Structure 1
Amino acid sequence: MTTQLAKPALNRGWLRGQLLHLVATASSLAALAALLDPDRVASAMGLFLVGVNGYSQFYAIYVGLRLATAMLAYLAARQGDQPILGDLTALFLLAQPAGRLVAAFAIGLPKGVLLAICAVELLAGLSLLALRPRGKFLSP
């Protein structure tokens, strides 16, 4: 009589859930960093914050949108039977490199740390879509 060791369920759903948790954590930490030191984060992104409107816009995008992405990813990870939530998370992630691609035609590709962030967003978003449960193409 042999006993098999319990293996972690390395299926698509489990992997997608883990990736969603990673996205939630990374987005939360990015929002926290932007909240605690907006000038340093803005400088790393090539931005110069001027006046109330500049800071307001920065907080809306780098704090508000990142926290919304984090909460959506966390909710999607908890509700694994609803693939649409993970798809929406992927779209939030992929919208950023898509916008940078549009900008690339006008002014060129981002450089340095922003190019690395773009690559991570692209990889995470496409991976979430690739790990979507099979047989649930247009289902909620």
Structure 2
Amino acid sequence: MSVQMAAAASSRKQAWQRRVLHLIAYAYGLSVVACLLFADELAAGMGIFLNGVNGYSQFYASHVGVWGATALLALFAARQGEPPILGDITAMLVLAQPAGRLYAAISFGLPQGFVLFMCAIELTAGLALLLLRPAR
């Protein structure tokens, strides 16, 4: 393969990686907005029951704080010229969720409904980022 073809393939791979990072940023960003607007409904849909100040505090910390940070990190990683490690960290954050769900599945069974769908999307997006990782 010529140098020009290799450069073109690398450029296409980077463009796809940026697209996946943008999709992750949008999905997590929209999830944050939904959690801010409909905390009780979304929590109930995920099987989480918000009881008192501590329940809401924990929900907002994990679903607004961590998801918001993931969205921002994905946006930063998608910028051209940023170090590949930002995309790797984004992939780790995204893949940490299905990993935790796998651990819970061993003890309690697979998630159901929308949570199972979320798990599939997280797994797909995280693995896509790893597959699109630039070569050293």
User: Letter of the aligned partner of 1:117 in structure 2?
Assistant: M
Q: Which runs of 5+ in 2 are unaligned?
A: 1-9
RMSD (Å) for aligned C-alpha atoms: 1.3
Q: d(CA) in 1 for partners of 2:71 and 2:82?
A: 19
Answer yes or no: is the 8 Å Cα contact 1:13–1:80 preserved in 2.
no
Q: Tell me the TM-score normalized by structure 2.
A: 0.90
Moved over 4 A (4+): none
Q: Which residue of 1 aligns with 2:116?
A: 115
Q: Which residue of 2 aligns with 1:70?
A: 71
Q: d(CA) in 2 for partners of 1:80 and 1:43?
A: 41
Answer yes or no: is the 8 Å Cα contact 2:29–2:68 preserved in 1.
yes
User: How far did 1:44 drift?
Assistant: 1.0
Deviations 1:50-92 (CA, angstroms, capped at 9, x unpaired): 0000000000011000100000000000144411000000000
Answer yes or no: is the 8 Å Cα contact 2:76–2:82 preserved in 1.
no
1:13-52 matches, cutoff 5 A: 13-52=14-53
Deviations 1:105-130 (CA, angstroms, capped at 9, x unpaired): 11011000000000000000000000
Q: Tell me the TM-score normalized by structure 1.
A: 0.87
Q: Percent identity?
A: 56
Q: Which residue of 2 aligns with 1:61?
A: 62
Q: Which residue of 1 aligns with 2:134?
A: 133
Deviates more, 1:63-72 or 1:78-87: 78-87
Q: d(CA) in 1 for partners of 2:97 and 2:80?
A: 24
Q: Between Structure 1 and Structure 2, how many residues are aligned?
A: 127
